[in-house]
Every structure is written in C-alpha cells, then in structure tokens.
Chain A
Amino acid sequence: MIKRINFWVIFAFLVPLLVAIPIFTVFLSFFDTTGNYLDLLKDTFLLKYLSNSFLILLGVLSLTFIFGVTSAYFVSFYKFPGVNFFKWALILSFAVPAYIYAYSLVAFFENYGTAFSILTFLFGEGDYNKYIPKFDGLIGSMFSISFSLFGYVYVLTRASFVFQSHNLIEVGKNLGLSSYESFFKIILPSARPAIVVGLSLVAMETLSDFGTVDFFSISTLTTAIYNAWISFDDLTTANQLSFVLLFFILLLFVLENLSRKGAKYHQNSKGNKPIPKIQLAGSKSIFATCFCSILFFCSFVFPVSQMTYWTIKFPKYFQDINFWSLNMNTLLLVFLSSLFLIIFSFMTNYGNRVSKNKLISYLSTFSVSGYALPGIILAVAFITFISWFSDFLSSIFGLNSFKNVFIGSVVGLVIAYFVRFFSLSYNGIKSGYSKINNSIDENAYLLGYSKLKTFSTIHLPYLKTNILLVGVLIALEIIKELPITLILRPFNFETFATKAYSYAAQDLLEAAAFPSLCLIIWASIFILFISKYILSEK
C-alpha cells in the first residue's frame, strides 16, 4: 500500500480536492449569520423561483431534444439537399453564447426593433408593432438557451446513430417495420444513453445559467442564490437554495453517469460497415432540408446577422474598441487555462490509473462540482475562500496577505477557470485513456520503463487527438465565459465577453454587437478546427 503512494497518486488526490473547494466553501460559509430574506422569500417568491427554474429546464430539455435528435436523425440516416453542409454547420451553434442570443432576440422583436425596421423597409411606413410577436422573458430564456445548447444533444446523438448497429436496423426492416416504426422502436431506444448524456449536460448548463435569465430579469434558483448570498447576506437562505439546486444537479449527474455506463453496451458496432444513407425524395426531402435550414438559421445565422447588421449600421462604436488588447486578453486566458487544465488532467488521470484507489476515483468524480456550480456563485465562493484562507494564514503564521495575487489577477482567473472546467478536461482526457489497455502499461513496466517514461512516451502520443479536442472545448468555454471574468479580472482588463456585457448593461446592444461578433467568430474558428474530430465517422 505504502509503495503505491507516490507523486502521481498524491497528485490525483490533491487536484480534485482543490477543485471541490468552492462547493465546500458555499456550504461552510453558511453556518453563521442569517437575515430575514427567507421570510420574504417564503411568503412570495420561493415557489416562483422554483417554478421558473423548472419551467425553463422543462422547456429547454424539450426543445433541445426535438432540435438535437431530429437533426441528428436526418443527417445520420438520409441523403437530402445540403446534408453534408448541415452535418457540420449545425455545430456552429456552440459559438453563440445564450446571453448573446438573448440580446439578438430582444433587439429583433422589441417595439421598433429590427423586425420593425425590416417591415418598414419592405412595405413602407406602418403600424407593425402590433403584429410582431412579443416574447415573455421566460419564453425568451428558453429559446435563447435551447438554440445555444442543442448542439450537445445533436453531437452526441449523431455519434451514437453513426455507430449504431446496422444489423439491428436490417433486422427491423426484415420484420416489416416502417422507417417511422424503426425510429421509435430501434434507433431511438438504442441511442438513449447518448441522448441522456446530452440532455443532462444541457440541464446542468441551463440550471447554472445566469447571464440570460438576468438579462430577461427572470428570477430562478441561481439568481435567488445570488440575491440571498450577495445582496441580502442571508446565508441560511442561500444555503437552502444552493442545496435544492445542488440536489437537482447531483441527480442529473448521477443520471448522466449511469447513462455513460449504459452507452458502453450499446456502441458495439465497431468494425461493422457504415450504415448506407437512404436518399430522400419529394416532400420528405424538402422537409428534412427545411428543418435543418431553419435550425441552422435560427441558431447561428440569425444572431450573427443581427450583430453584423448593427456593426455595419453603427460604425461609430467600432472605433471605441481596443481590438488588439481584447484579442490578446482573450487568447492569453484561453492559452494559459487550457495549458494548465490539460497538464493537470493528464497527471490526475495518470495518478488514478496507477493507484487504482477507489477513494481517489470517487474524489475525481466529485470534482465535476465546479462545472455544476453556476459560474457566478463559483466566483464569489472563490473570493470568499481566498480571503478566508489568507486571513487564516496571516493570523496563525503572520504571513503577508496574498489576496491580491489571486483576486483581481490573471492567476486568479486561470485558477477559477480551472475549477470550473476541470471536469470537462478531466473527463475528456479520461475518455481517451480508457481506450488504452492497462496491459500496455504493464508491458512497459516490464520493459523497465519508469512511470514518467510510460506517461511521456506511450500515453502522451496516443492521446494527441484528445488533447486537441479538450483544448478546443476549453477554449470555447473560456471565450464565452462571463460571470467569473467579470468579477475576478484585474484593473483595465477586458475580454470580448465583458466588453459586450458592459455595453449591454448601458442599454447599448448596438455597441455590444461588435465584441459579440468577434467572440462568435473566434469560437467558430475553434469549432471548425475540430469539427472533423467531432464528426468523425470512423
């Protein structure tokens, strides 16, 4: 046992522990004072918050299910005009954060908004406001979040469809099932694990969303925690609300994990010939093309056009932006964070692999908490923890305060991102690792390779694609990240996301358009860069 405790194992133990700190902080800081926010909340709003969160979740899950599964089904099994284009174009929706989608939605449909301008341009002056549909904030949030997240369901479902056993479908056909029947009886059930994984990712992101619901001023569990904790300093309430939220998220997480396990049994068709795609004709083909076109249009073309339209219409705001420093800041954060995340995920994974210790493996599972916790709550928990820790060390050892090293610095940002996205990176690397058979390691040790050498000469080269994939996923998240960046950043430090937010906050969505557009372009470049791996059919 003692022999097993080495550098790697300690690593595998410490990193997840670090990542789990915010969640402990959220709970531990709730044991002292309290206010009267809960009474206020109980009488009036608590039910409302819960029902809002629940309604948004329900709406988003339904919409992403319909969008994601339907499009994946068409693209995987059929040939129709544009299918090869839609296959990758649909994942561009990842490039548009839900809050920027929300800006576009409001700007387009508001009284005298873009829709009004278009109608005026086409048909001359008129009283069009009555005919332009108005979105309730709740509906608006649902659509914004759904269009920006359905990609998860699409990508995972499609991967599962592509690898689905051709034989099963053949058997179904021989039994006389129509394509409609075989979809519901064979294809959908066997893709269920993948769909559930996709939906639970969507659910976690939806529950922890702050930017979108805040923009629409919809009160949800997350905004309630924020208010209770930050505005009212009412820790008991925040604690109770966090508990409800975490319970939700934990449930999802368990569900997701169970489905991932299930997925292994279903994806057994490797080596089978790829499923031949059926050529659609007539109205069916038109329907498939229309569905994918509308989805692509709504999820990507619409927000991009709205932002482009503004950028061109209001060129003045263009000049106000320090384009160079925005690019540099965004890329600096992306670079540093992906680097550290990947290195540490690697080491943790490797430690896990060599230790085979159950506790460590549970601990790393627990480290997803960073992802499950809303970014804004995590940021505040981070600040609270650092302050407490610094004060604690000062009082005991008389150390100088190190708050300024971590709060309001790039270092602090990178660490907070680390905590938030560690599970993304850890699981990404893990999925690659699980494909390397353990016997390979044992052979290497027999050949006299040290652990370090096994790691660097065998594992590292084998996992190149995974590294690329994980790196880009992290980059996407960080480019879009808003609440953590906003509160933890240094003086005079802006990214595209914070710049867009700050214009939106002064009611100048027109000026927010250019930074938003840059953000989307950067994200799209990253997506196109890895699309061939995401969409691999091998």
Chain B
Amino acid sequence: MEKTMNKLIRVIGLAIVGLFSTLLVANSVFANEVNVFSARHYDSDVQLYEKFTAKTGIKVNVVSGKDKALQKRIKEEGKDSKADIYITADAGRLGAFQAEGMFQKGASSAALKKVVPANFRSPYWVGIAKRARIIYYNPKTVNPSWNMSYEDLADPKYKGRVVIRKSSNIYNQSLVASLIKNNGEKNTAAWAKGMVNNFARKPTGNDRAQILAVAAGEADWAVANTYYLALMLSGKKGAEQQAAAKKVMPFFPNQDGRGTHMNISGGGILKHAPNKANAIKLLEFLLTPEAQQHIVNNTFEYPMIPGVKANKLIAQFGLDFKQDLKTKVSNYGKLQAKALKVMNEAGW
C-alpha cells in the first residue's frame, strides 16, 4: 500500500517538474525579440513575421485573440506587460485604445512618415493596409448612377432591397462615425432609420454573407468591405462562391463628394513596450514594398504605401476611385459611441 503513496508522490513530483519546465520555456528570455498582440488572425501575417526574423534576427512572438479581451489583458498587465505592438483591424479600435492612453508615440517614425499618408497614421499608430467599405449591387436588377452615395441607400425607393450586417460590428460603427462627422448626428440618425426601413432582412451574417445575399437575389444592394469579394473570387472559398461572386458588382460610392469610406488595419507601440526599438523595426518592415506585396496578395487589402500594386482580383475593379482622405480615420474612434447610439435607436 506504500506503493500507491509512492506512486502518487512520484506523479505529483513529475507534474511539478513539468509545470516548471513549461514555465521556464514560457518565460525564457530571448534577448532579441518583439512581442505582438494581434486581433488580426491571418496566417500570412505569421509568415511575414518569419521573414522579418530571417532578415533581422529578431524573434517575433505572437498572441492573437479577440480585440477587447486582448486590450483588457494589456491594460491589466500594466507596466509588466511584455507586449510591444498591438495590431488590429479598424481605425476605430486603434483610436479608442489610444484614447485610453495605451500607446506611446513613435509608431510613425520618420521613415514611415515619408511613405504613409498623413490621414492613415497618428503619432501613436500607423496604418499597415487599407480597405474600403463599399456598396455591392446586382447588375441584373439595378444600375447605380456614377455619383451614388452611402446616403442614397436610405432612399425609400430601395425599400426591402438593402442588406448590411449588425450594428455591433466595428466596420459599421466606423462607417456611421464617418457619416456623423460629415453630415452631423441628426441627419445620420434620420439616415439610419431610412436604412433600417430598406433592410431586406434582419441583419445577419458577416460581410461575405451580405454579398452572397445579393448574388442569391435576396437583395439588390449590400454594404461590405472590399477584400471579401476578392476572397471569394480567389477560389479560397470554393467554386460555388467563386461563381456567386461574379454575379455581384462592386461600386465605389460618394465619387461626387468626399470619396469612398476608407479604413485601415494598423498597429501601435504600447506604452510599456519592453522592446521599443525592435517594435519600430517591425512596423517599418511591415511597410516595406516586400511586406506590403505579401499582405495585399494574401488578405486582398489595399497597399498602404505607393509603388505597391493591389492584388489583381481587387485591382480589376479600378484603383483610381476617389478615396475619402478628408475624414481623418482617427474620428472613427472618437465618434464610435455616438455611431452605436444612432444605429441602436434606429433599431439596426
């Protein structure tokens, strides 16, 4: 019977050794590293980090997760946080995190200021890739005039023909924030009510599901980000979706006015970053032509720097459309709560 006890003790001992060895591995110090917290989940980003390591010898460590939960972790860890860079999609999120004082200046280094347009960076964060939130339509049933706008989608003549995802989605919050910035809160509230009246169905699914709804004839108009259509056209979602995507046309709205709503994926250097110099190096690397080419070919976003061509699946729809460079993306974060309120009140 002593045997059982011995066994028990041995197992416990083993477990403790195991625990500590994993602890050591988890906490082992790589002198030359940079730690990334990312709410973007692309495998292609990880490949890019590997390229960076090969080039510079700096090891890149990654934790990915849900945007807000990651932010909470960074905040609570405070000055003990090992995180150097926080990367996420949507300027609204970057702006909100900046407002909480979680970034330090330095993301837009002198080198980056030269290549990244002022509209897509701040002292605290820098855009890595661009996307447009555009209108999609069914060319068999409707034909938009060249100057159609987001505002027009609320026109009663489109009753029951518009699909868009829920108000809880950050892309919608940023789009509506830009409308508030340009048209005022009152007008935007009226617009949101008009949109809701025009909905073909209760908002459901992600951006791709909206495009598919137009392909399937459930609606004539959808609002979704640009890269979703390219993703389907690429065949990564199978032949059926590739064929479905061809039934839908993208349309870049507000060409007559401020231009199409643009947003970014971007990153900033965290307040307590232990490896700030490496963090700047990584951000600079992500904005080199080589890295940009890799990003646009995998995620189908638009390049952030001049001289890099968008992937042909997205370039075929035209690259010379007028982008909204007037509305600073930093507004998306500032007006986020108002945007959500406006949509909620409209029953979106």
Contact = CB atoms under 8 A, between A and B. Distances in A.
Interface of A: 40, 43-45, 106, 110-113, 116-117, 120, 127, 129-130, 136-137, 216-217, 219, 226-227, 230-231, 313-314, 320, 332, 335-336, 339-340, 343, 376, 379-380, 383-384, 386-387, 390-391, 401, 403-405, 407-411, 414, 452-453, 456-457, 460-461, 483, 486-493, 502-503, 505-508, 510-511
Interface string B34-63: 010000111100000000000000000111
B72 A409 contact: no
B208 interface: yes
Interface stretch (B15-23, B180-188, B191-199, B310-318): B15-23
B323 interface: no
Given A129-B217, A456-B5, A490-B26, A407 B61 contact: no
Interface in B60-88: 61-66, 68-73, 76-78, 80, 82
Contact of A405 (B8, B23, B344): B23
A13 B241 CA distance: 58
Nearest to A214: B66
Interface string B151-178: 0000000000000011011000000000
B345 A129 contact: no
Given A40-B340, A408-B63, A502-B41, A383 B72 contact: yes
A381 to B, nearest CB: 10
B341 interface: yes
Contacts of B66: 486-487
B23 A410 contact: yes
A507 B208 contact: yes
B244 interface: yes
Given A314-B238, A456-B1, 12 more contacts: A43-B345, A127-B217, A230-B72, A379-B69, A387-B76, A403-B78, A460-B8, A486-B66, A487-B69, A491-B82, A493-B63, A502-B64
B206 interface: yes
B335 interface: no
Contacts of B11: 339
Contacts of A510: 236-238
A506 B19 contact: no
Contact of A487 (B23, B70, B169): B70
Contact of A492 (B22, B61, B77, B340): B61
A137 B204 contact: yes
Contact of B240 (A112, A407, A493): A112
A410 B204 contact: no
B202 interface: yes
A231 B72 CA distance: 9
A106 B23 CA distance: 39
Nearest to A394: B80
B344 A40 contact: yes
Contact of B169 (A217, A219, A340, A489): A217
Interface string B1-18: 100110010011001001
Nearest to B238: A313
Interface residues of B, number: 66
Interface string B198-222: 0000101111110011011110000
16 contacts: A111-B212, A129-B217, A217-B168, A217-B169, A219-B168, A313-B238, A332-B18, A343-B12, A383-B77, A386-B76, A401-B80, A411-B22, A457-B5, A491-B63, A503-B41, A508-B236
A403 B15 contact: no
Interface of B: 1, 4-5, 8, 11-12, 15, 18-19, 22-23, 26-27, 35, 40-43, 61-66, 68-73, 76-78, 80, 82, 165-166, 168-169, 202, 204-209, 212-213, 215-218, 228, 231, 236-238, 240-241, 243-244, 337, 340-341, 344-345
Given A411-B23, A507-B206, A111 B213 contact: yes
A411 B228 CA distance: 39
A453 B337 CA distance: 63
Contacts of B244: 111-112
B19 A336 contact: yes
Contacts of A231: 68
Closest 8 pairs (CB-CB, A-B): A491-B61, A129-B216, A111-B212, A457-B1, A111-B216, A502-B41, A387-B76, A112-B244
B230 to A, nearest CB: 12
Nearest to A388: B76
Nearest to B247: A112
A136 B216 contact: no
A505 B243 CA distance: 23
Given A112-B212, A405-B27, A456 B4 contact: yes
B168 A407 contact: no
B15 A383 contact: no
Contacts of B241: 112
Contacts of B80: 390, 401, 403-404
A491 B35 contact: yes
Contact of A490 (B63, B204, B215): B63
Nearest to B21: A410
Given A313-B238, A408-B63, A230 B78 contact: no
Given A44-B345, A336-B18, A408-B26, A491 B62 contact: yes
B240 A110 contact: no
A410 B72 contact: no
Contacts of A340: 15
A61 to B, nearest CB: 24
A408 B15 contact: no
Contacts of A120: 240
Nearest to A504: B41
Contacts of A45: 344
Contacts of B212: 110-112
A456 B3 CA distance: 10
Contacts of B207: 507
A191 B27 CA distance: 52
A136 B345 contact: no
Contacts of B205: 106, 110
Contacts of A461: 4
A489 B63 contact: yes
A332 B22 contact: yes
Nearest to B42: A506
Contacts of A379: 69
Contacts of B23: 405, 409-411
Given A112-B244, A336-B15, A410 B238 contact: no
Contact of A111 (B12, B82, B218): B218
Given A136-B202, A376-B69, A508-B236, A407 B76 contact: yes
Contacts of B204: 136-137, 216-217
A233 to B, nearest CB: 8
A410 B22 contact: yes
B22 A487 contact: no
Nearest to A233: B100
A112 B216 contact: yes
A502 B42 CA distance: 8
Contacts of B240: 112-113, 116-117, 120
Contacts of A407: 73, 76-77
Contacts of A457: 1, 4-5
Contacts of A227: 68
Contacts of B166: 217
Contacts of A503: 41
A336 to B, nearest CB: 6
